Amino acid sequence: MTTDWHPLEQELQAWMDQGLTLPLWWRDDDAIEPTPHLDQLTRLSETLDLPVHLAVIPRDATAALARYIATSSQLIPIVHGWAHQNHAPQGDKKAEFEAHRPVERVLADAGRGLNTLRTLLGKTLTPMFVPPWNRIAPEVVAGLAKAGFDAVSTYNPRKTALAAPVAAQINTHIDPIFWRGHRGLVNPDILVSQVVTLLQDRRAGLTDSQEPLGYLTHHLVHDTDIWEFSRQFLLEICDGPVRLYRHDGKGIS
């Protein structure tokens, strides 16, 4: 696999020339137990010294996962819905936390997820909510802070810094997987072009330059090309004017 990184390098140079700094974070979804793929994710995170916000599915999370997370300070567990179960009507896009059920029941599932992982993971858990399939109804978002969450993470540039009062919006923006096709790696040059556009929009003030730029992975389904692109991309972007975002309820670390 060969990738032309020059457009990204040029854009990062423009950021440096203008004295700008890019906040960066990494989120990985669907963890439930230790696997060889999780080992590979952890090794990459430790090699790059870039923390991974590990979105854990509460219903299925195991005690073995809790022990595994405790072995690495690079893994930051966050809450990935409740069961990663689709409740959308047939023909609609998959969703667990859209308003297809009474809002009270949906929020109860969110709270159950938080409480389950607090019991399993203790103080290592960060109360950020990641709705499966990155879909969530506004009325559900509005109740998350009361349920105990301090942040919400979905996909695409955020419109506001707060998802709801006292709950930050910290989204992801780059996903290397071609979900609607072969589920392998998106054409690398297309991915680089997408990243450059995201960064140019930030420099132009079209999107929020203070939102951490989010790289989204799914370790359980990565093939060799996805792992290699992820490694190269994170090396390239971390060579630019970045500061790493670690969400622990306090923001940038």
Which pLDDT does position 31 carry in this prediction? 98
Q: What local confidence, expressed as pLDDT, does residue 42 receive?
A: 98
Q: Quote the domain boundaries for residue 123.
A: 6-241
What pairing do the DSSP bridges indicate for beta strands 52-56 and 75-79?
Answer: parallel
Q: Is residue 145 part of a domain?
A: yes
Q: Is residue 57 part of a domain?
A: yes
pLDDT of residue 68: 98
> What is d(CA 217, CA 247) in angstroms, rounded to the nearest whole number?
17
In a domain, 246, yes or no: no
DSSP designation for 248: S
Given this model, what pLDDT does residue 99 score? 78
Q: Total domain count for the chain?
A: 1
Asked whether residue 179 is domain-assigned, the answer is yes
**What pLDDT, on the 0 to 100 scale, is given for residue 248?**
75
52 in a structural domain: yes
CA distances for 247 relative to 16, 197, 223, 253, angstroms: 25, 25, 28, 8
How confident is the model at residue 2, as a pLDDT? 87
In a domain, 175, yes or no: yes
pLDDT of residue 225: 97
The answer to whether residue 251 sits within a structural domain is no
Q: What is the predicted pLDDT for the residue at 82?
A: 98
Residue 252 lies in a domain: no
> Domain with 95 in it: what CATH number?
3.20.20.370
Q: Which residues contact 108 (CB under 8 A, 6 or more apart)?
A: none
CA-based Rg of the chain, rounded to a whole angstrom? 18
The list of the chain residues with pLDDT below 50 reads 250-253
